[in-house]
Amino acid sequence: MTTALLFPGQGSQAVGMGAALADAFASAREVFAEVDQALGQDLSGLMRDGPENQLTLTENAQPALMAVSLAVVRVLDRDFGVAVDRASFVAGHSLGEYSALAASGALALADTARLLKLRGQAMQRAVPVGRGAMASLIGPKTDLALAEAAAQAGSALGVCVVANDNNAGNIVISGDKAAVDRAIEKAKELGARAIPLNVSAPFHCPLMQPAADEMAQALSSAPITAPRLPVVANVTARPETDPETLRRLLVEQVTGRVRWRESMEWLASEGGVTRFVEVGSGKVLTGMAKRIAPGAESLALNTPDDLEAFAKEVASGE
């Protein structure tokens, strides 16, 4: 069975995330302690106890989600003998790409935590609160052509682009608030439902260029090595292994489209993936995988029981 590990993005955070792993495994506690030390912050305490409004802040949610994902990876390796390179590919949704790079050994855990903290802060600084907006276009008529048409209509009033091509029936647009509002109207005319998202900034659009500039500077000195297995990048929707290419794509990703549907389609077809395993908090990517590649097995590893069952399955050769 050919496996791809998937790493979730912002929105999958929740108070209590990682607590069961920390209670059950010393190796998970080690990951959380390393992240806390790297950030000089009791992030693990915030993850366990909240408050939710602090955990949801971009600068906290991003390293927190990575920490839970890497705790799962370390527990699988140390406690169950399932190394990350038992998989054939890794991929992460937006910030999850950093988790994928850390899991595959391209980035050190402490460096990843610091980069994500900065990424969250830089994204928040890039656009004044209230200027930007994002909206999810959903429904059976929602496809990339409809979303592009809606974004084009919004562009008459400012920046408006497709930010996340998640799967057919779930596409996110981002940009100036007035432009996104116009795009929402157009999307509804075209037969889609449109839901404004409760986000603090318009991610993955040209308004994020100041954040991309900050990340370019930070990433220029970050040690990035060749990953142990290919990383399917958001920007290209193709597997990448060259450290300098990965560095450049992390910068481009800040303003660029998350090409998740295409990434998953490549994995299922060209990559021959027959099992998608979501690693970390939540099950958002598992749901997407089932819609994009219904012929493949899809599962999420959230709890100690999930990890034990998965390890037994791997050991039996299933």
pLDDT digits (tens, 9 = 90+) for 270-298: 999 999 999 999 999 999 999 999 999 99
Say how many C-beta atoms besides its own lie within 10 A of residue 261's C-beta. Answer: 21
Distance of CA 293 to the CA centre of its chain: 18
3-state secondary structure of 18: coil
Check if the beta carbon of residue 39 is closer than 8 Å to that of residue 56: no
Domain boundary among 146, 181, 199: 199
Q: In terms of domains, do 97 and 144 share one? A: no
Backbone torsion region of residue 257, taken as left when φ is above 0, otherwise alpha when ψ lies between -120 and 50, otherwise beta: beta
What 8-state DSSP symbol labels residue 211?
H
Q: In terms of domains, do 136 and 110 share one? A: no
Q: Which of 83, 124, 298 is nearest to 211 (CA)?
A: 124
Q: In terms of domains, do 143 and 182 share one? A: yes
| 4 Cβ contact list (under 8 Å, min separation 6) | 87, 88, 89, 90, 91, 232, 267, 271, 273, 275, 276, 277
Token pair in block for residue 236: 């290209």
Q: In terms of domains, do 257 and 110 share one? A: yes
Which residue type occupies 312? Answer: K
Q: How confident is the model at residue 318 (pLDDT cuts 50, 70, 90)?
A: low
Q: In terms of domains, do 87 and 218 share one? A: yes
Q: How confident is the model at residue 198 (pLDDT cuts 50, 70, 90)?
A: confident
As a whole number of angstroms, the distance between CA 100 and CA 104 comes to 6
Quote the number of domains for the chain.
Answer: 2
Strands 89-92 vs 231-232: parallel, antiparallel or unpaired: parallel
Domain boundary among 156, 179, 199: 199
Q: In terms of domains, do 111 and 158 share one? A: no
Q: List % helix, strand, coil for the chain (3-state, nearest 5).
A: 55, 15, 30
Between 200 and 256, the more confident residue is: 256
pTM assigned to the model: 0.97
Q: From the candidates 93, 99, 174, 204, which is the catalytic residue? A: 204
Token pair in block for residue 289: 């995988």
As a whole number of angstroms, the distance between CA 118 and CA 286 comes to 28
As a whole number of angstroms, the distance between CA 258 and CA 135 comes to 15
Q: In terms of domains, do 26 and 114 share one? A: yes
Longest dimension (CA), the chain: 57
Q: In terms of domains, do 96 and 19 share one? A: yes
Token pair in block for residue 265: 């389609």
- Does the annotation mark 94 as catalytic? yes
Q: What share of the chain in percent tops pLDDT 70?
A: 100
Q: From the candidates 12, 44, 94, 298, which is the catalytic residue? A: 94
Token pair in block for residue 69: 């994902």
- Does the annotation mark 93 as catalytic? no
Domain of 34 in residue numbering reads as 3-126+207-315
Q: Cα dihedral sign for 189, 194, 200, 202?
A: negative
Q: What is the pLDDT of residues 79-129, one digit of tens each?
A: 999 999 999 999 999 999 999 999 999 999 999 999 999 999 999 999 998
The per-residue pLDDT for 110 is: 98
Q: In terms of domains, do 109 and 18 share one? A: yes
CATH code (residue 145): 3.30.70.250
What 8-state DSSP symbol labels residue 95?
T
Q: Which of 297, 257, 249, 301 is nearest to 80 (CA)?
A: 301
Domain boundary among 199, 217, 248: 199
Tell whether omega for the bond before 243 is within 30 degrees of 0, i.e. cis: no
Mind giving me the DSSP string for 72-86?
Answer: HHHHHHHHH---GGG
Q: In terms of domains, do 182 and 220 share one? A: no
Summarize the confidence of residues 69-79 as an average pLDDT.
Answer: 98
Q: In terms of domains, do 99 and 138 share one? A: no
Distance of CA 223 to the CA centre of its chain: 21
CATH code (residue 26): 3.40.366.10
Q: In terms of domains, do 184 and 242 share one? A: no
